[in-house]
Amino acid sequence: MKNLTITGLCLFLLIGAVHSQELLTLDQAVSIGLTNNYGIIISQNSLQAARNNATRGNAGMLPVIALNGGYSKGLSDARVKVYTGNELDISGAPSDLLTAGVGLNWQVFDGLNMFITYDKLKRLEEKSELSAKITIETTVASIIAGYYEIVRQGRICQMLTEQIDVSKYRTSLAQRRFETGTGSELEYLKSRVELNADLANLSNQKTLYENAKTNLNDLLSRDVQTAFSVNDTIPPASALDYDTLLNSLKSTNRSLMVAAKNKQISELDVKSAVASQWPTLDYFAAFNYFRNETQSSFIQYNRNYGPSMGLTLNMKLFDGLNQKRQYKNAVIAMHSYELGFKQVESSLITCLSGIYNQYRNQQEMIGFEQENLQLALKNMELAKQSFAVGSISSLQLREVQEDLLAARNRLVTAQFVAKLTETELLLLSGRLLAENQASNSAN
């Protein structure tokens, strides 16, 4: 009995420590995760890079202006003979050369490919924004699941604690009966063994509970040793309609929208392949300065400067049929992305249907298990009274204990799975963030 007293004291200290910890609500957990989660921060960085890329300059629509200059000084040996008969033969002749200029190059026509490229960059920006939202949605869903996993594991700890209380009661009566000669030593020892097993189960369950808290801290990208407590109830799942979820999935599911963006980008790639077959027209303008002084030539000093401008037309007459090949491959890719969109849509609808069936099943299970729990609690009270007067054996009381524990476990599992399926349905329908924001506003 001394060991039981020590165990009870430890449980009391543990419960006191839990209640002294800061309460973390689900809304607070989501808010911390949205701010700190590494995956979300990385996705936001990728989005910012896509925004930086979606410029007219990156699409080739703006001119390039460059400034250049150079200066050189040297010595050279020269021997020059011209038709007039004059000759120049000199060794170590100094030379001094200075050049400077500013130039502009601007591709004014490329088959409209620059406009197609700019449109593609904007689509890539939109796709990156959708990918960032997907990361946010999946992170929020993971936080919700992680939070209620802590609640579930904590509820199981409470169940096992109550199981231990009954086992202590059973052991105490079995010991008293053994000591007074009205019971057997076998029954007493068996009750002790099963009490120790319950204590071991609770110890293992505490580890699962602490690990669940560690996992949530990791999702929130904070110190995994951060102490906190959570609400001890799993709220009932919302009433969801399948047709409403299906319509929302088709219009707002981010993964489906990404597949649609991929299809749009592939269509632009086809247009780009067509545009590349057109000639290109470049405009150039410059202002250059040139000065050369040398004794190794009949022209000892030469300086000129001034503006220049012009147009350059370039058209590929034959490139090994590469442009034709690129066009064919772009068309094939476009058809593949069209099929990919249909495949993603079909997979999402199938997933929605399966999860919705599970969601409805869990709703029914909660009703059944709530009734079963009430029956199991009543049965436990009757069994304890019967055991106290010797009407039933210790083994029969243990069976009632196990039935009660199983009923409690099934109920909390049904509530947990119902909440998970609700979260997954909202995630698939693209409504998870909106529902979370609405919940925050209501609170």
**Number of Cβ atoms within 10 Å of the Cβ of 47:** 19
* Residue 74 pLDDT level (bands cut at 50, 70, 90): confident
Residue type (1 letter), 206: K
Residue 11 in this model has a pLDDT that exceeds 70: no
Q: What is the pLDDT of residues 338-358, one digit of tens each?
A: 999 999 999 999 999 999 999
Fold that domain 23-54+111-279+320-442 belongs to in CATH: Outer membrane efflux proteins (OEP) (1.20.1600)
Q: What percent of the chain has pLDDT over 70?
A: 90
DSSP 8-state symbol, 28: H
**What's the confidence (pLDDT) of residue 8?**
44
Overall average pLDDT of the 254-264 stretch: 97
Question: What is the three-class DSSP state of 48?
Answer: helix
pLDDT value of position 10: 45
Alpha-carbon dihedral angle through residues 172, 174, 179, 182, given to the nearest 10 degrees: 140
- Provide the sign of the torsion angle of the four alpha carbons 77, 81, 86, 87, taken in this order: positive
Environment class of 216 (CB within 10 Å of its CB; exposed 0-12, middle 13-18, buried 19+): buried
The pLDDT of residue 22 is above 60: yes
What confidence score (pLDDT) does residue 298 get?
61
Q: How confident is the model at residue 13 (pLDDT cuts 50, 70, 90)?
A: very low
Cα–Cα distance measured from residue 441 to residue 307, given in angstroms and rounded to the nearest whole number? 66
DSSP per-residue string spanning 78-103: EEEE-TTS-EEEEEEEEEEEEEEEEE
3-17, 373-387, 388-402: lowest mean pLDDT where? 3-17
Residue 26 or residue 12, greater confidence: 26
Confidence check: pLDDT of 3 > 50: no
CB atoms within 10 A of CB 140: 24
Dihedrals phi, psi of 223, to nearest 5 degrees: -55, 125
Q: How far apart are CA 175 and CA 194, in angstroms?
A: 14
Closest to 147 (Cα-Cα) out of 273, 30, 287, 244:
30
Residue 66 is predicted with a pLDDT of: 96
Report percent pLDDT > 90 for the chain: 73
204 vs 199: CA distance, rounded Å: 9
Q: Flag whether pLDDT at 329 surpasses 60.
A: yes
Q: What's the angle, vertex CA 168, arms to CA 210 and CA 413, rounded to 5?
A: 40
- The phi, psi pair for 71, rounded to 5°, reads -145, 135
Closest CA to 411 of 236, 206, 227, 286: 236
Across residues 78-98, what is the average pLDDT?
A: 74
At residue 343, the pLDDT reads 97
Residues 142 and 136: their CA atoms lie apart, in Å, by: 10
Residues 310 and 276 sit within 8 Å (Cβ to Cβ): no
Q: Is the pLDDT of residue 18 over 60?
A: no
Residue with the two structure tokens 């109920």: 411
Q: Lowest mean pLDDT: which of 32-46, 169-183, 206-220, 278-292?
A: 169-183
Largest CA distance in the chain: 144
**pTM here?**
0.85
pLDDT recorded at residue 387: 86
Residues 387-439 have pLDDT tens digits of 888 888 888 889 999 999 999 999 999 999 999 999 999 999 999 988 766 55
Nearest to 151 by CA among 49, 269, 233, 38: 233
Would you state the pLDDT for residue 14? 46
Query: Nearest Cα to 127, choosing from 259, 270, 267, 268?
Result: 259
Residue 267 tokens, joined: 């269509």
Mean pLDDT of the chain: 89
User: Structure tokens of 366?
Assistant: 């909660």
User: What average pLDDT score do residues 198-224 get?
Assistant: 96
Question: Structural domain boundaries of the chain?
Answer: 23-54+111-279+320-442, 65-109+281-314
Burial class (CB in 10 A: 0-12, 13-18, 19+), 218: middle
Residue 247: pLDDT band (50, 70, 90) is very high
- pLDDT bucket at 73, cuts 50 / 70 / 90: confident
For residue 4, pLDDT over 60 is answered with no
C-alpha to C-alpha distance for 196 and 211, rounded to whole angstroms = 23
pLDDT average, residue stretch 117-126: 97
Q: Determine the Cα–Cα distance for residues 54 and 149; give it in Å rounded to an integer.
A: 42
